[in-house]
Amino acid sequence: MDCPTVTHTAPASTAAAGAGRLAGLTSWGADWAGLRVVVTGITKTGFSVADTLAELGARVVVVASSHDDESRRAADTLRIVGVEDVILGRESSTVLPLVGGEPAELVVTSPGYRPSHPLLAAAADAGIPIWGDVELAWRVRTREGRKTAEWITITGTNGKTTTTTMVELMLQAAGLRAIAAGNIGTPILDAVRDPEGYDALAVELSSFQLHWIQSLEPVASACLNLAEDHVDWHGSFDAYAADKAKVYANTKAACVYNAEQIETEHMVEEADVREGCRAVGFTTGMPAISMVGVVEGLIVDRAFIAERKDSAVELAHVSDISELVPRHLVANAAAAAALVRAYGLTPENVRDGLIAYESGDHRIQPVATSGGVLWVNDSKATNPHAAAASLSAFKPVIWIAGGLSKGVEYDELVSAHAGRLKAVVLIGEDSSALAGALSRHAPDVPVIETDKGHTGREGVAETPIFGDAVMAQAVAAAAQLAEDGDTVLMAPASASMDQFSSYAHRGQSFINAVRELLERRASANKES
**Is 108 part of a structural domain of the chain?**
yes
More confident residue, 290 or 17: 290
Q: Are residues 194 and 103 in the same domain?
A: no
Contact 352, 315 (CB under 8 A): no
On the question of pLDDT at 460 being above 60, the answer is no
Residues 6+ apart with CB under 8 A from 236: none
Structural domain count, the chain: 3
- Cis peptide bond upstream of 366, omega within 30: no
Q: Are residues 68 and 163 in the same domain?
A: no
The whole-model pTM stands at 0.75
Using 50, 70 and 90 to split pLDDT, how confident is the model at 526?
Answer: confident
Q: Are residues 384 and 244 in the same domain?
A: no
Contact 229, 156 (CB under 8 A): no
Residues 233-261 have pLDDT tens digits of 777 889 999 999 999 999 999 999 999 99
Q: Are residues 232 and 349 in the same domain?
A: yes
The arithmetic mean of pLDDT across residues 203-218, rounded, is 96
Residues 265-317 have pLDDT tens digits of 999 999 999 999 999 999 999 999 999 999 999 999 999 999 999 899 999 99
Q: Are residues 170 and 297 in the same domain?
A: yes
pLDDT computed for residue 199 by the predictor: 97
Q: Are residues 338 and 194 in the same domain?
A: yes
pLDDT computed for residue 33 by the predictor: 97
Domain boundary among 301, 335, 356: 356
Q: Are residues 383 and 488 in the same domain?
A: yes
Q: Are residues 128 and 65 in the same domain?
A: yes
Q: Are residues 93 and 24 in the same domain?
A: yes
**Is 142 part of a structural domain of the chain?**
no
Residues 155-167 have pLDDT tens digits of 999 899 999 999 9
Instruction: Write the single-letter amino acid at 291.
Output: M
Using 50, 70 and 90 to split pLDDT, how confident is the model at 172?
Answer: very high
Which among 474, 400, 394, 406 is positioned nearest to 157, based on CA atoms?
406
The arithmetic mean of pLDDT across residues 322-337, rounded, is 88
More confident residue, 7 or 316: 316
Binding residues: 156-162
On the question of pLDDT at 16 being above 80, the answer is no
pLDDT computed for residue 20 by the predictor: 80
**Is 7 part of a structural domain of the chain?**
no
More confident residue, 115 or 463: 115
Domain boundary among 313, 330, 356: 356
On the question of pLDDT at 83 being above 90, the answer is yes
CATH number, domain of 60, equals: 3.40.50.720
pLDDT computed for residue 93 by the predictor: 77
On the question of pLDDT at 133 being above 70, the answer is yes
Q: Which uninterrupted H or E stretch holds 89?
A: none
**Is 4 part of a structural domain of the chain?**
no
Q: Are residues 402 and 516 in the same domain?
A: yes
pLDDT computed for residue 48 by the predictor: 96
On the question of pLDDT at 2 being above 50, the answer is no
Instruction: Quickly count: other Cβ atoms within 10 Å of residue 466's Cβ.
Output: 18
CATH number, domain of 517, equals: 3.90.190.20
CA atoms within 13 A on the CB side of 199: 14
Identify the domain containing residue 109 by its residue range: 12-136
**Is 6 part of a structural domain of the chain?**
no
Residues 345-382 have pLDDT tens digits of 999 999 999 999 986 677 788 899 999 999 999 998 99
**Is 304 part of a structural domain of the chain?**
yes
What's the whole-number average pLDDT of the chain? 90
Q: Are residues 243 and 160 in the same domain?
A: yes
Measure the CA–CA gap between 467 and 428, rounded to whole angstroms: 9
Number of DSSP helices (H) and strands (E) in the chain, helices first: 18, 20
Binding residues for ATP: 156-162
pLDDT computed for residue 364 by the predictor: 82
CATH number, domain of 263, equals: 3.40.1190.10
pLDDT computed for residue 322 by the predictor: 76
Domain boundary among 136, 167, 191: 136
